[in-house]
Copies of this chain bind each other. A is one copy, B any other.
Amino acid sequence: VPRPSSRPQIVEAALTEFHRLGFNGCSVDTITKAAGVPKGSFYNHFPGKEELAAEVVALYISRSPFRAERDDDLGPLAELRARFVALGERHQAHDFARGCLIMNLGSEIGSSAPLVRTALDEAFDGWAARAAALLRRAQEAREISLRMDPDRYARFIIDAWEGAVTRAKVEHSWAPFDDFFACTLDAIATAPAEI
């Protein structure tokens, strides 16, 4: 039997610490200490901090409530809403103090660090694709207007969500999320279908 590697614990700890403190805000030492593994052993598993960050991003999106399998018998729009609600619950679990890891890393180091950038792009794209698919199904079900471009609108919704999440982090408030729903999903749901 192979000895259990400490690699997963490092990624796990890095996920938490990057989320709390940012990429530049926490050191390799911080992470390995939090993981309970000796610091020196970090470089057996990762070429460097940046590669770790890329992997952390992958882990983060793999756990996104937005990707979870669901079999609620909901309409497409209700399901879209439910997925955002689930996202919000994850933020609530941290008192909205951490923001979105994707957004945080993107704004902090996304411009440099190509490896991380690639991972972030995939995260955004996958997320937007899922949201667009739901919007498309909502159009097929005539829940929303056919005039909306699902791809563009999906990205817009996600941007708005990300902005709200980040502001919630800075202002320590939950309120923005209610506004988010009122101004996006609820709005398009109640808009006359012919628009």
Contact = CB atoms under 8 A, between A and B. Distances in A.
Interface of A: 20, 22, 24-25, 97-99, 103-104, 106-111, 117, 120-121, 124, 152-153, 155-156, 158-164, 166-167, 169-172, 176, 179-180, 182-184, 191-192, 195
A163 B158 contact: yes
Contacts of A106: 166-167, 169-170
Contact of A163 (B111, B121, B153, B159): B159
A107 B109 CA distance: 12
Contact of A171 (B121, B160, B162, B164): B121
B171 A152 contact: no
B108 A182 contact: no
Given A153-B183, A155-B179, A183-B153, A111 B169 contact: yes
Given A24-B25, A25-B109, A124-B171, A166 B176 contact: no
